[in-house]
Amino acid sequence: MIDKRLQTYRTYQRFTRILLTICGCWYMPTKSDKSMHYYSICVLLTMIMMTMVTLHTSYIHRYNLGNMMKNVGFAITGLSAILKVVSFTINRGSLINYHRILNDLFEEELMRNDKIRTIIFSSLHTMYILTYGYFALATTLLLLYFAPSYLLIIRGLLHFHLSTNYTLPISRGYGHFWTVPDNFLYHLHLVFETTLTGLSGLMACSVDSFFGFYVYQFTSTMRAMNFRLTNPLPTEKFLDLLRMCVAKHQRLLRCRDTLEHVYGPIVFWHIVTNAILLCGLMYDAMPFSDFKRISMFLTYAVVKFVQTFTYAWYGTILTNASEDFRNGIYFGEWFNSSLDHHVRTNVILIMMQKPITINAIYSPVNITIFTNFVNATMSYFFLLQSIDEGLETLHRDGRVAMIEFSLRRIVNHYSTGILGVDSCVIPLELRLYFCNHWTRHILKLTIFR
């Protein structure tokens, strides 16, 4: 059973590493280290290109909120990928050191005995199911999004005709800074946009899932240390065991600093941009009468809520494991042992430390940040709704004032017998419920310029 779990862990480890390698974010030295460096640059350039195309497309759709927000969503995905590639590239040295320390600590605890392995593998199932599920969700949505275009191509090939009678999924054929020709190059643009979108989606899955893998190694190591403190072996001296755990805890704190330095800005970026994007899409989908807008909103909402929740949940797991470790020290045998006052002082100082957390610049990453994200989304939505209602009120009051001014001029011209067609623009479909019958008759017959 333990061997099966160990094999499952190795598969989970390889899966996350393969995802990071495909996205150009793998940082550990390899035989093809120089090629990997150039590949990361190519990925960065493609993400910049995708961001520029989607921003240009959203600018073209600036008068259509739904289409504009959809392209803004693609642009945010591209910017997120750029942030992740740049962050992993800049902090490569720190990540290499972090990986070696944390992986060595984890493997050391993993090789001890079956009880320790059972403790370590207790949360493995939940972690890899969440990773695989996140990857399956993103892959399914991407396939469904690009399926119509490729189905039209396949249908044309079955009739021995390579049709271009489909819309490019991202640029719509006019989002590029050049004219897309209606020939074989049109299909190359489809493949190009598919590659860009797939790579950006894979980037989100890989970096987000690797954060979960880091947290799993972190929490499993602390749980193993906690178990050894509360259940020491007869052959182990508690003094040596305590010193070893304190030394490992200090190394884990340095690993926490590296993890926070790399992932803190990424989590903060996702919290802010996801809230703004969902707010705009929710506002566009109201009052939920258009199925296309509803489906687009639900698709983005599922992905963004899952992404935000995974970060918050991983952070909560890390904090809880840190609390358990402090409790393990407190309920250990240190107060019954013949330790000197210096060791007791060190134990008290460890217990007085705050739990290990990952901060997203301004707030700790835990389940509370997810609730704040939901509250911020709804707050932005109600703010937009209030602004829209205020603008409608101002617009309505302005139209009423314009009509009243026009009516005064009409009455003056009518009373003097000089009925003109002066330059006041009034839509004829406005309800003229405030007019008497002869004024309404005049307004119906008069063309206002």
Residue 82: per-residue pLDDT: 92
Residue 110: per-residue pLDDT: 85
Name the nearest CA neighbour of 211 among 253, 264, 252: 264
| Residue 446 DSSP code | P
Residue 132: per-residue pLDDT: 93
Name the nearest CA neighbour of 446 among 401, 399, 413: 413
Name the nearest CA neighbour of 71 among 51, 49, 44, 47: 51
Residue 403: per-residue pLDDT: 54
List, as one string, the DSSP characters of 373-415: HHHHHHHHHHHHHHHHHHHHHHHHHHHHHHHHHHHHHHHHHHH
Question: Phi/psi class of residue 354: alpha, beta or left (left: φ > 0; alpha: ψ in -120 to 50)?
Answer: beta
Q: What is the mean pLDDT of each run of 10 residues along the chain (449 residues)?
A: 81 92 85 82 89 84 75 85 91 90 88 85 90 90 84 81 74 72 79 86 90 92 85 76 81 89 92 82 68 74 87 91 80 62 66 78 84 80 71 60 54 46 41 42 42
Residue 1: per-residue pLDDT: 54
Residue 446: per-residue pLDDT: 44
Residue 214: per-residue pLDDT: 92
Report the predicted TM-score, pTM, of the whole model to 2 decimal places. 0.79
Residue 216: per-residue pLDDT: 93
Residue 433: per-residue pLDDT: 39
Question: Phi/psi class of residue 355: alpha, beta or left (left: φ > 0; alpha: ψ in -120 to 50)?
Answer: beta
Q: Residue 389 half-sphere exposure, CB side, CA atoms within 13 Å? A: 7
Rounded CA-CA distance 306/288 in Å is 22
Name the nearest CA neighbour of 209 among 141, 129, 96: 129
- The full set of domain ranges for the chain reads 1-20+94-365
Q: At what angle do helices 341-352 and 291-330 cross, to 10 degrees?
A: 160
Rounded CA-CA distance 276/260 in Å is 24
Residue 78: per-residue pLDDT: 87
